[in-house]
Amino acid sequence: MAERNTLAHFLHDAGLAAWFGGSLMGAVGVNGAAKDVDDPRQRARVANAGWGRWTPVNLVAIGAHLFGGAQILRANKGRVVAQKGVLANTNTKLALTAGALGATAYARVLGQKMMNAGDVPVAGGAEPLATTPPEVAKAQKQLHALQWAIPALTGGIIASSALHEEQQRATEVLKGSILGIPGAVGTAAAGLIGK
């Protein structure tokens, strides 16, 4: 009987959902709402306060996602090796995760620069004005790109996870395992299953 990994799947999926959703809401909601503040010197403060409140929650969400993912990978290591296509998807997912982690960490560094700058005039949470100090404007321009890169990367992780779910169907496991057998025997057998 197969071992269940319900808690690991929950941590993986809920953590990823919060990471994706929080980053997307931050780009649209937090950074966008800062534009609505009348005083340009208070806009960064509003965005920084929102991101400051989200950061610890995001850290827990990312940790849950990584912990759950590691448990799922451990439980499926045999499939990763034996089933054709699973290793490639796993490597893609790992690369997307590394990219999202790097982008998130760098966004945090840039956000801290914004916080340290204090009440400087800005157009929004990730958009400078002509009067924004150059070092803050540079950080904001980079944040502007990262605010969309993080949901794109975490969205890619969601897509990869969906493919992993499809690869766990019984027919896909059988077909992929046979295709994992080297040579013409595996290809011929997989062709018979696909018909």
Residue 37 domain flag: yes
- Checking if the pLDDT of 10 tops 80, the result is yes
- Checking if the pLDDT of 180 tops 80, the result is no
- Checking if the pLDDT of 115 tops 70, the result is yes
Residue 11 domain flag: yes
List residues bridging with 122 in a β-sheet. 128
Q: Would you call 175 helix, strand, or coil by DSSP?
A: helix
Residue 149 domain flag: yes
DSSP class of residue 11 equals: H
Residue 181 domain flag: no
Residue 113 domain flag: yes
Contact 158, 20 (CB under 8 A): yes
How many angstroms separate the CA atoms of 67 and 64, rounded? Answer: 5
Q: Residue 59, Cβ neighbours under 10 Å: how many?
A: 13
Instruction: Provide the domain limits for residue 94.
Output: 6-170
Residue 87 domain flag: yes
For the segment 77-102, what is each residue's pLDDT rounded down to a tens digit?
998 988 888 999 999 999 999 999 99
Mean per-residue pLDDT for 68-75? Answer: 96
- Number of folded domains in the chain? 1
